[in-house]
Structure 1
Amino acid sequence: MSESVYTVAGMTCGKCVDAVTTEVGRVAGVRRVEVDLGSGEVRVTSDRPLTADEVSAAVDEAGYELVTR
């Protein structure tokens, strides 16, 4: 298992959290997605290490922006 933490900008409500959770959860190999609305932190547990591009595309599909660390 692999765990990664990302920051997402633009989330303001529970529906935002649901959208990001759903789209990131659709990435191949993702087992769990935890989103903290207050901090914008998204913790992803997956079968394999994910690329930033995979997660960024999913976050973009949800209508938000992955913040580059």
Structure 2
Amino acid sequence: MSDLSISVSGMSCGHCASAIKEELLPLRGVQDVRVDVPAGLVTVVGAGDVEESAVHAAIAEAGYQVVT
């Protein structure tokens, strides 16, 4: 199992967290998604390899921006 933590901008409420989870949970290898809205942090819990580029694309699809 591996965890991937990503800083995300633009989140402000529970709906934001739900939108991000909705995009990330279907990705291959993703077991859980934790969103800390006040901290601007998304943690993806996965089994095996979770492609970071796919996670970034899913966050963008949800309407938010990964902070690099």
TM-score (norm: length of structure 2): 0.90
Secondary structure at the counterpart of residue 66 of structure 2: strand
| Partners of 2:45 and 2:64 in 1: CA distance | 20
AA at the equivalent of 1:57 = A
1:12 is matched with which residue?
Answer: 12
Structure 1 runs of 4+ off > 4 angstroms? none
Q: For the aligned residues, what is the CA RMSD?
A: 1.0
AA at the equivalent of 2:17 = V
Q: State the percentage of identical aligned residues.
A: 40
1:26 is matched with which residue?
Answer: 26
Residues 11-35 of structure 1, C-alpha deviations (whole Å, 9 max, x = no match): 1111111001111112111000000
Instruction: Verify: 1:52 aligned to 2:52, yes or no.
Output: yes
AA at the equivalent of 2:9 = A
| Partners of 1:52 and 1:67 in 2: CA distance | 13
TM-score (norm: length of structure 1): 0.89
Secondary structure at the counterpart of residue 21 of structure 1: helix
| Partners of 2:14 and 2:62 in 1: CA distance | 13
Aligned residues: 68
- Structure 2: runs of 5 or more not aligned: none
The answer as to whether partners of 1:3 and 1:49 remain within 8 angstroms in 2 is: no
